[in-house]
Structures are given as C-alpha cells and as structure tokens.
Structure 1
Amino acid sequence: MDSTSIESARAEWTTILGESGVIAASPKDYGASTMGVVRHIPAVLRPKTKEQVSAILQVAQRWQIAVYPVSTGHNWGYGSANPAQDECVIIDLSQLDKISEFDPEMGVVTIQPGVTQGALREFLDRHDGEYLVPVTGAGPTCSLLGNALERGYGITPITDHFAAVTKIEAILPDGTLYRTPLSELGGAEVDGLFKWGLGPYLDGLFSQGNFGVVVGITLALAPTPETVTAFFFSTKDDSKLEALVPTVRAVLRALSGSVVAINLLNSQRMLSMMTPFPADKAVEGVLPENVVEDLARRHGVPAWSGVGAIYASKEVAKAARRTLRRLLGPVTDRLIFINQRKVDMAQKVTRLLPGKLATRVQGMADTLSGALQIMHGTPNDVALALAYWRSGDLPPPGHPKNPAQDGCGLIWFAPLVPIRGKDARRYIDMIERVCPQYGINPLITLTTINDRCFDSTVPLLFDRKDTEATTRANDCYRALYHEGQKEGFLPYRLNIHAMDILNNGSLGFSKLSSQLKAAIDPNSILAPGRYIPSTKRTEV
C-alpha cells in the first residue's frame, strides 16, 4: 500500500463520511487486543448507513486499499477489533445500530451490526417482546450480528446463534447489494421466517468468511418460557467423568426442548470465578496440583461442576426435575435447582448473617443471579471477569468491562470434542499436559452444542505486559492446535493470528474458497486472510 493511494482514498472517504467519519486508530481502542497482537491500521472509517458502506468499498476497489469490517470490535480473545493482516483500514459498523423490524407474533427481528445484546434486551422490554436475547458471556456491549456470523453459541434455547439467522443482507466487495432470492422476488416476510430460502444457500458464505460486509440479519428469537430453572450438579471424584459425560448426553436426549445445553467446568475454571489468582503460590505462572487441591478444599470446589437450565411450563419443569434426579443422581454428589425466587431469598438472608459469612453468601447469590439473568436472555458481564484473572485492571462495580482496553491477556482455544467419556478424558489429559508447559493454567469448560458434540473453551490467560508471557501464550495456542490435530480435537473458530491454519493450499477447501474469493473480490480488498486464503495480498 503506497502513501499516495491511502491519502487519495482517505480524501474520498472523508467526502463520503465527513471529517468525523475518518479517524486514526489509537493503540488504546482499535489497536488494543487481549491477544497482545499488534496490527498497523492506517485509518478507521465509521459509516452510518449501508449506502456509505457501499461507497467505502467502491473507493477501496478503486485505490486497491484493503479494508476490514468489525461490528463493535468486542471480539475478546479472538482479536478484538484487529484485522487478520497488517495495513487494513478498519470499517467500524457500530453506528449502524438500528433494529429495523420486529414481528412480536412470529418472533423475528431484523438488526444491523451495531445492535448489541444489551440494546436488543432493552428494545424487547420496551415493546413487550416476550422473547429471549441470544446472549453469550461476552457481555451486553457485544454485537449480536458479529457473534452470529462467527457461529457463536449460548445456553438459551436457540443454542447455535447462526442457526437462528434466517436472512442476510450484505454489501459485496464491489459495492453492490446482496439479498436472498426470496426477498428479491418480493417475499421478504417469508424469507425472514425460513432460513434456507430458495436455490443454493449462499448466505453461508458470509459466516466465517470475507465475501461481503453484512449490514443486516434477521434473527429468530426463542419465546420466553413459563419457567426457567437452573440446575447445578457436581462430583468430587474426577474418575467419575467418564460416566458423567454420557449421562449428559442422555439428559439432552431425554429432555430435548426443555434442557438445551449443559456446561461442565473443571475445578480450576470454577476457582477462577471464586478467588483472585494466588500469584505468590504459582510456579512459573502455573498453580501446582497441591495448591489447586488446597484452594478447592477451602472454597468447597469439586473436581467437576455442571450447570444447565430447564425451559418449560411448570408441569413439564416438574417432570424434568424428576428425570434429572434419576439420570444424574448415580454419577454426581450433589444436584440442586435454583430459580430467581430462591436467589432473592438468599440475598435477603445475608442481611442477618455476620460479616465474612454475609460477604461470602452475598457473593454466591450475586453470581447465581448473574447466571440466571443470562439463562433468562438478559446479558451481563459477570462471566467477563474471567479475562482479568491473570492481568488487567478490573473496573469498579457499575463500570463497563473492556478486556482489550483494560490490559487483559486472553486467547481462546475452542475445539470440538465428541460427547464420549473416553474422548473427554483424552482431551482433558491433552490440555493438562500442554498448557503448563507454557505457563498457562488449564481452565476447562465443556459446553454441549448438541447431543453429540461439546465445544470446549480454554482461556489462555497471561500477563499482557510481559512480552515473554504473551509469546508463550500464542505458542501455547499453536501447540494445542497441533496436539489437537493429532487427537481429533479441532477448533470451531480461529483467532486473527491463526488464520493460516486454513490458508493451506493443500486443502480442497482452500482451493475452492480461493476460487470463489477471486471471482467475487479479485483485488482481495475485503478482510484479506480472514478464513479464506488471500488471492492477491500475501503480506502479513
């Protein structure tokens, strides 16, 4: 990219967007990343309409300037607002924040990239929308559209968030508008009610791809059920895991529709939510086994904890509780059911307890309340505190958390694992073997994304101020990927520093996707290197 081209393009973009719409990328905002990866970003463009997005892309094509769209830039642990390659101009879509259509009868809503989890919750509350927001643990400020396109998931009834996308509207790299055939033929309403449309399913190209800038999606929402009851279970005996895993699968099959997802968390993952990181007891950044055991004993943390929710009528929920007791009883030490009424009672009881005990009970009640809010489709940032366990300055209560700007070191490793006891054990052994070699504590969550497959999330937490620790964390990700490749545990999404995994000319996928990219974007100006091998720009 020569300076003449970027300056000429910048002048045209300023004409389109105004002076305030073309800004510099400061290290504190767009340049910040929890991964510690640094990209050179020549400029940031802030359009307010899809027409401006189209004009931006036409200028980018004319001057062959690479651009990289972000929704809100809160892609924590995968790159935040940073592009996959250097020298990409950021297109910040956060000001495209309209909720343009909502059908309360059918339960579908059409949103732009800047619509956050929190914004949709507020909208539904104002319009008596009795539906759940497809929330994640990333917090209320994160884009629904961005998460869906990355195939994010949650534990509310529509677990797979891209599965809930029924319609897509995008601007192609040459600035033209893409709409699905049903919409173009005059069937916009039914298009939003039926995911697959008519003809080849081209909408999938815009999920984990770089074939266009998605400026709108229609989402199917899950209706608010009569009752939401959380259930928590645990086992103190790690050797019971092989029996617990198939039982989780049996629960999902027996209670399909009422129980849609279950999380399993190891003791270190639970401790990260309950106690500050004891740096003085760590050896080269890693907590020894005896320290973990001592902390777990003092905080009452078992080897494995599980959490899920029942979404059902009162009658069905009662039957579901019986089924859960029958199935989980033989392989767990404890199974409890919690609803908002019980949490409210616990919070009232804290007023009658002595100091330290009151603080502990209040903390547990607050955590449970936050978990229940997420299960009710109300986003919060309770889970986001994890990013601060090893580094970063946790903001005061009531202030928004931004792990990238707050100095947190976090990289997500998120592989897929079959729901089999022996496979879960092989996977856990792999994580516990590899992570400590790089100064990373093995915090493991296994989340069911259907009744056949877990997605595991392992947060690689490190001190971002330490250059060596940052390098080790990125090396750890690579080591986990290569070991997982041998064992059959591969990630379902990639961070910006790992896109070369798919940029492999020997893969049939790479060849076909590159051919499609070359046809749609011959100059490779849109998000080069993002999942699809670059057809022109090869510099990194």
Structure 2
Amino acid sequence: MADIPLPPGFTAQKMDEARRALESVLGASKVFFEDLDRRSYLDKFAVNDALHHPAGAVACESVEEVQAVVRVANQYRLPLFPISRGKNLGYGGTAPVLAGSVVLDLSRMKRIEFDAELGTVIVEPGVSFYDLYDYVQANNLPYWLSTPGNSWGSVMGNALDRGVGYTPYGEHTKNICGLEVVLPDGDLVRTGMGAFTNAPTWQAYPFGFGPGWDQMFVQSNFGIVTKMGMWMMPEPESLMGMDVEFDRPEDLKVMVDTIAPLRRERVLTQSPSIGNWLRAAAVLTRRTDWTDKPGAITDDVIDAIRRRFDIGWWGVSLRLYGREEVNKAAYKILETAMGNAGPLSIRPTSWVKGQPMEYSGWTGTPITFPMQNVNWYGGRGGHIGFSPIIEQDGDKALAQFRRTYARYQEYGMDYQGSFAFGERHLTNVNAMIFNKDDPAMMARIDPFFRTLVADAKQHGYGEYRTHLDYMDLVADTYDFNNGAMRRLNEKVKNALDPNGIIAPGKSGIWGAYGRPGGEEAGA
C-alpha cells in the first residue's frame, strides 16, 4: 500500500488498519481503496492532476453508517472528505482538499420526503435534481424545481455550496429550512424546529429557538449534513418574459442599471443572468468551427458567431412567475424599462398552465447541456470559475468586466462571463474553459486565476466560492482585522472537531491538521 497517498502523520500500516476498521463497520463492499477507486474520485477538471488524490473512499447508505465511519475516523485521526454526489464540476468534483483523505461518498443516500400541503421537501445527499424532478412528476405534485446548469448534481450539495438556479427560488441557500447533521464526534443534531422532537414545523420555520445554525454548515467543514429541508416553488399559473440582446460590450452598464431596480423592487423575483456571446457558441459549436488562430478570439470571429446565432454581445433572459393578471401588469413595466434601455432585440415569451411547456431551466426542468461548453477547445475539456461578488451598479460592473476581459486577452483565453443578479448584489461568474491536453494553455491557468483574484481584491471584491486549489488563496483575501474571520472559523473548527477529521482545508478552514506549509491551527 506504499503507493497510496497518505495524510500527515500516517504510515501505510496505519492506513491499512484504518481501512480494515472501516470494512468492519460497513462491510468490504462499501470500502474502496484500489487504484481504480482512487482514480475514480480524482477531480476531472483539475488544473494540476498531481494534487488532491484521495487514499480511498467509503460509501454510506444511512446516517447510522455515517456515524460509524466518523467514530473510526476519530480513532485513527483519519481525515474524511464528504461529498454528496461529487458533481460540483469546476470546483473540485469528488476530490478532497487534503491529499490522502478518505472520500465519504453519500450518493447512495437518496431518500425523499415531500409535504405537498406546505410545499417542502426533505432530501438526502444523493438526491439529484433529476431524482427530485422525477419524484415530483411521478406523484403529480404542483411544484417546480429550481435547477442549475448541471442537474446531475445533488440538490443538497448545490444548496450547501451556495449554488443557484433559474427561477424565483434560484438562490438555493436561502430556501434551506432545517438540517440533520452528524457532528465530528458522531453526535446527531437537527437544526431549527428539528431540535424539537417530532416537530411538524421543521420545514416550515427555519430558526427554532436560540441561535440559527443552518448557515453554519454551508461551505464549512463543521459537520456532515445527512438531511436537508427545502422550500419548493408552487407551480405558477403563468410564465411571461423576454429574451433581450444588446449590441456592444459597454451596454452592460445600462443593462445592470435597468434590471437592478426591478430586482430590488421584486418586480423581477427570479435572479437573471447577463451573459456574453460565448455562452451560446461554446455549447453549440467548437472553437475550430470558427478559427484556428491562437490567442484570445478576435472581434471579427465574435461578429461571425453573433451573426450565426442572431445574438448580441450580451444577452439576458427575464421571467415573471405567478398569477396571470399580476404577470401581465409586471410585464408592461418590464417591457417599457427594457425598451428604453436601447436593446438590439426583444423576444417575448409566455406560457399559461394547460399549454404545452418548454422544458428548460426557466420551467424548473433539469438540464446538463450547458456542460457542453468544456468541449470548446477540444481534447479533455474542463473549466474552473472565478466569481467575485460586486455591487449592483452599472459603472462598477462595466469596470469589472473591462479589467477581466483585458486579462483574458492578456492570457490568450476566450472570454465566457456573466453577471447574475441577487437582490442587492451581482455575482460576476467568469468561466475559464481549457483543454487539459494543451500543456501551454494549462500552464497559463494558475497565474491567470491568481491575477484575477489580486485584481478583484484591489477593488474590495471577494469570491463567493472557489476551486479546491484556491480555497486558501480566497480565504486569505477576507482579511479584515488581520484575518479575524479565519480565526473565528478555526476556533469553531477546533472546538467541534479537535481531531480535524472532517474535510481539512475546506473553505480555507484547516483546524487540527494545520495548513500545509503554513501556521498551525490556533497559532
């Protein structure tokens, strides 16, 4: 077993003992330590394939099995890296932050409990958006999902990493209501009203009595979530909206300044996303269909792409959900506002319950076709995302775009960017698409990413989530009072997880293991 990656303080013999202890509580059929197993849990979109190799994996099917694994992990101080389904592609997928960790694969936990009267659901980690959609359809439930661009992923995992979707319920983290969590010592806790035995209101009221803990387990390594309550959107009576195209890069300013007030007033209750021309081109074609020239794609090729797909430099899809009469009134406001912004085109769309439905993210249908963009360059495609949070201000958005676009050109990369609206913020999602079989391109990705982080930091902007490689880098940018947030996270980590067994390094929180090459925890 000498070839197995080992975490700090482990020998091959100790890892073998830990593996046999895991087999004793789970059975050998749920413990995976062969070479093929380890390769199966690597990050498929890794920038550096040499990093984040697991020692092995275990697959649990119940909360009791998770508790048993946690007890073994404490006995050996074995680091575990929980995953729901491992489909968080572009952020690390199935791989652990700390090499030598054992992946705790929860994808076999797939139970669904639905309250059709309240419109709430309890899901386990392995429930994908496809699974939940099929459940809703099979039971003829009058509710819609909010789905992300990669619906292979876990409903729970997406919400716990602050993923987003297309409908008014698209800020998934906000719709969490009640968690069941295995703590690092093996104790089982339910948050909110779940702390009250047999409470029928566990998924109705998110706070309970005393501190509210749900968000503490979002993007953290303080416990292993085994159940999550979530609010579902009632099926609307109607859906109205428009797809709007704008001609010039600088039109981003007027788009943001027009849409932002409508979002804040909740005329728009969805979270629309302004995206550039590559979102269409990278899904439907390959780069070689357009050019064989190296470096960032040129304006004449961009013009050809736009003519082919009849799109603007920027586009945005705006949707209204709910009662038909309310939507009609809101649509008039939307139509006037967007018309005054000087668009290249406006394409209206509408649907009323009983009519044939388009199956798209706007209607809560699971989708995966946006993942086709990784084929843009050919070869073994992949991507990572750089996504700082900025103000809902047109001038600030345009300045952020210009800085970022200039860096894409400097590093010879094709720009795929978007600006997604929350109620008060924009998430500037920049996809770095790459070809893993192009060594010269791959050598540029890391310095490119680090430059974007430094640029954003200079203007006070930080990422809201990031790839495994950059969790420490991004955590370091949150530096108020000499890193007070990091110290707080470490205090909580060390109190709850003194052996440091749960996902060391997740979100830059190391705990007992200490950051490799850095200061020890608590220093």
- String of CA shifts for 1:344-366, please: whole Å, max 9, x gaps: 99xxxxxxxxxxxxxxxxxxxxx
Asked if 2 retains the 8 angstrom alpha-carbon contact of 1:522 and 1:536, the reply is yes
Asked if 1 retains the 8 angstrom alpha-carbon contact of 2:192 and 2:214, the reply is no
Which stretch shows the higher mean deviation, 162-171 or 527-536? Answer: 527-536
Q: Residues 37 and 215 from structure 1, CA distance in 2 versus in 1: closer, same or farther, beyond 3 angstroms? A: farther
Structure 1: distance between partners of 2:451 and 2:43? 24
Residue 132 in structure 1 maps to residue 105 in structure 2: no
Following superposition, the deviation at residue 471 of structure 1 comes to 3.0
Aligned to 2:516: 539
Q: Residues 373 and 297 from structure 1, CA distance in 2 versus in 1: closer, same or farther, beyond 3 angstroms? A: closer
> Structure 2 length as normaliser, TM-score?
0.90
The counterpart of 1:510, out of the listed 486, 506, 509, is 486
Q: How does 1:94-133 map to 2 (within 5 A)?
A: 94-99=107-112, 101-133=113-145
Q: Residues 145 and 162 from structure 1, CA distance in 2 versus in 1: closer, same or farther, beyond 3 angstroms? A: same
Q: In structure 1, the residue corresponding to 2:445 is in which secondary structure?
A: helix
Structure 1: distance between partners of 2:315 and 2:140? 36
- String of CA shifts for 1:95-153, please: whole Å, max 9, x gaps: 01111x211000111110000000001111122211111210112x2100000000111
Letter in 1 for 2:321: Y
Residue 37 in structure 1 maps to residue 24 in structure 2: no
Q: How does 1:82-101 map to 2 (within 5 A)?
A: 82-99=95-112, 101=113
Aligned residues: 496
Aligned to 1:216: 227
Asked if 2 retains the 8 angstrom alpha-carbon contact of 1:149 and 1:162, the reply is yes
Q: How does 1:307-318 map to 2 (within 5 A)?
A: 307-318=317-328
Following superposition, the deviation at residue 274 of structure 1 comes to 4.1
Structure 2: distance between partners of 1:28 and 1:313? 50
Letter in 1 for 2:368: D
Aligned to 1:22: 31
Asked if 2 retains the 8 angstrom alpha-carbon contact of 1:136 and 1:379, the reply is yes
Aligned to 1:51: 64
The counterpart of 1:178, out of the listed 189, 195, 200, is 189
The counterpart of 1:453, out of the listed 384, 400, 425, is 425
Which stretch shows the higher mean deviation, 472-481 or 424-433? Answer: 472-481
Aligned to 1:68: 81
Q: In structure 1, the residue corresponding to 2:245 is in which secondary structure?
A: strand
Aligned to 1:243: 254
Structure 2: distance between partners of 1:419 and 1:186? 43
Following superposition, the deviation at residue 466 of structure 1 comes to 2.4
Letter in 2 for 1:415: P
Q: How does 1:95-494 map to 2 (within 5 A)?
A: 95-99=108-112, 101-139=113-151, 141-180=152-191, 182-186=193-197, 188-256=199-267, 259-278=269-288, 281-331=291-341, 332-339=343-350, 369=358, 372-392=359-379, 407-450=380-423, 452-494=424-466
- String of CA shifts for 1:494-540, please: whole Å, max 9, x gaps: 21111112554830001111011111111211100101431232338
> Structure 1 length as normaliser, TM-score?
0.87
Asked if 2 retains the 8 angstrom alpha-carbon contact of 1:287 and 1:441, the reply is yes
Q: Residues 28 and 389 from structure 1, CA distance in 2 versus in 1: closer, same or farther, beyond 3 angstroms? A: farther
Following superposition, the deviation at residue 28 of structure 1 comes to 5.1
- String of CA shifts for 1:393-438, please: whole Å, max 9, x gaps: xxxxxxxxxxxxxx32210111112111100111110111112222
Asked if 1 retains the 8 angstrom alpha-carbon contact of 2:114 and 2:120, the reply is yes
Asked if 1 retains the 8 angstrom alpha-carbon contact of 2:53 and 2:96, the reply is no
Letter in 1 for 2:208: G
Q: In structure 2, the residue corresponding to 1:493 is in which secondary structure?
A: coil
Structure 2: distance between partners of 1:503 and 1:51? 33
Aligned to 1:13: 22
Structure 2: distance between partners of 1:142 and 1:181? 26
Residue 520 in structure 1 maps to residue 496 in structure 2: yes
Asked if 2 retains the 8 angstrom alpha-carbon contact of 1:461 and 1:473, the reply is no
Once the two structures are aligned, what percentage of the paired residues are identical? 25
Asked if 2 retains the 8 angstrom alpha-carbon contact of 1:108 and 1:218, the reply is yes
Structure 1: distance between partners of 2:191 and 2:269? 33
Structure 1: distance between partners of 2:290 and 2:39? 30
Following superposition, the deviation at residue 255 of structure 1 comes to 4.7
Asked if 2 retains the 8 angstrom alpha-carbon contact of 1:210 and 1:532, the reply is no
Q: Residues 507 and 447 from structure 1, CA distance in 2 versus in 1: closer, same or farther, beyond 3 angstroms? A: same
Q: In structure 2, the residue corresponding to 1:68 is in which secondary structure?
A: strand
Q: In structure 2, the residue corresponding to 1:62 is in which secondary structure?
A: helix
Structure 1: distance between partners of 2:48 and 2:146? 29
Following superposition, the deviation at residue 241 of structure 1 comes to 2.7
Asked if 2 retains the 8 angstrom alpha-carbon contact of 1:255 and 1:320, the reply is no
Following superposition, the deviation at residue 47 of structure 1 comes to 0.9
Following superposition, the deviation at residue 272 of structure 1 comes to 2.4
Q: In structure 2, the residue corresponding to 1:536 is in which secondary structure?
A: helix
Structure 1: distance between partners of 2:62 and 2:339? 55
Q: In structure 1, the residue corresponding to 2:141 is in which secondary structure?
A: coil
Q: In structure 2, the residue corresponding to 1:189 is in which secondary structure?
A: coil
Asked if 1 retains the 8 angstrom alpha-carbon contact of 2:183 and 2:189, the reply is yes
- String of CA shifts for 1:31-61, please: whole Å, max 9, x gaps: 1421333322111101111111111011011
Q: In structure 2, the residue corresponding to 1:183 is in which secondary structure?
A: helix
Aligned to 1:403: none
Following superposition, the deviation at residue 17 of structure 1 comes to 1.5
Structure 2: distance between partners of 1:80 and 1:229? 35
Following superposition, the deviation at residue 194 of structure 1 comes to 0.8
- String of CA shifts for 1:256-288, please: whole Å, max 9, x gaps: 3x5422221123333323432137725434212
Which stretch shows the higher mean deviation, 420-429 or 471-480? Answer: 471-480
Following superposition, the deviation at residue 173 of structure 1 comes to 1.1
